[in-house]
Amino acid sequence: MNLRTTAILKAVIEEYVKNAEPVGSKTVASKYNFGVSPATIRNEMALLEQLGFIASPHTSAGRIPMEKAYRFYVNTIIDESLSDFEEEFLQLSSYLEPESFRRIIEKVSREVSSYTHYASIAIIAADGRDAVELVHLIRVSNREILCVVLMESKKTISFSTETTIAIPKEDLEKLSQLLTEKLKGIKSFNIEDTEIEYAEYSEEIKKIVGSIAVQAAENCDMDIIVEGASNLFDLPEFHDHNKAREIIRIFNEQQVLCKMFRKPGKNEITIKIGSENEIGEFKGMTTMYRTFDFNTRGMISFGVAGPLRMNYRKVLASMRDVDKLMHEMLRIL
């Protein structure tokens, strides 16, 4: 896309974020000085629609952004500037008073939720740094195996799983050695992202590693803080009662929240838009999160959940403030 088309897409997104109403070419022409006629803007919007960035809901003359538009916005436009949010809203000094670690996280969560008017989620995993020491697979029956995982903390996790094919005892021993070799030293939160190649039993290994990740997460000592979930229901996207009930259910399920927010990003803020989220009604939302390793205190995943029509600039600015605060806490705590 050329610069003008990109600027028009940005205008459509930001108008829709503000008003939750389909955006027409007349609105764009009157509010933004592109130096071209409304007819030209109409043609540019028609092109954006053909490319799948915007669409017309029902019979409305206006257009709304699609997931593809938000992803383009985040990946390209959002990096231009955060000049609207130059001042830090989290004043670091006020959060570094001598109070409990959890109290600080609660305070940050409330501030972020209040500032963004979305839901904030913090997951504190006291033993999220616990790592795998040994994996042992034991044949129980023809297709059932018992998986025993010894963690570095000496905690033992065991569970049964069924394979799609029968695995001979000697192959189970080889798989045990392979899993131990590949997973040894891997932290609880990183297990699911570990790829292990073994052509003959690739599906079985993928399933076992996934199960180990789930079991390790479930056995972590976790504390979950959710602030501002009710903020979402002030937004038109969440007026549907069935959708609201599903979101409330998710916010009350520790395992589901952990699956969504506990994965470490690559030392950066992770943004998942719409279908990039794995679970339920969150497929129609946007989530941002960042994971921090607090050494002996464990790991913290901090995130924000809101509509696709999220104020990305504002939320990203708040997440960057959280990032600065957490790094300062890591330095002094």
Domain extents in the chain: 3-77, 84-126+221-332, 132-218
Residues 101-154 pLDDT 10s: 788 888 899 999 999 999 999 988 765 567 899 999 998 888 889 999 998 878
Residues 161-214 pLDDT 10s: 888 888 888 888 999 999 999 999 888 777 877 888 777 788 888 888 888 887
One of 3.40.50.720, 3.40.50.300, 3.30.390.60, 3.90.1300.10 is the CATH number of 132-218, namely 3.30.390.60
Phi, psi (5° rounding) for residue 274? 55, -120
CA-wise closest residue to 122 among 304, 329, 321, 315: 304
Fold: same for 3-77 and 132-218: no
Please identify which residue in the block is written with the tokens 């030392």.
267
Q: What is the pLDDT of residue 249?
A: 84
- Mean per-residue pLDDT over the chain, rounded: 84
d(CA 229, CA 242): 15
Give the ranges where 90-195 is alpha helix by DSSP (H): 92-95, 101-116, 169-183
CATH architecture of 84-126+221-332: 2-Layer Sandwich (3.30)
Phi, psi (5° rounding) for residue 128? -65, -15
- Of the pLDDT bands very low, low, confident and very high (cuts 50, 70, 90), residue 83 is very low
DSSP string, 73-96: IIIIITTS--GGG-S-SS-HHHH-
256 contacts 250 by C-beta, under 8 angstroms: yes
| Fold annotation for 3-77 | Arc Repressor Mutant, subunit A (1.10.10)
Which residues in the chain belong to E strands, given as ranges? 54-55, 64-65, 119-125, 132-139, 144-151, 156-162, 222-227, 270-273, 285-293, 299-307
Phi, psi (5° rounding) for residue 148? -115, 125
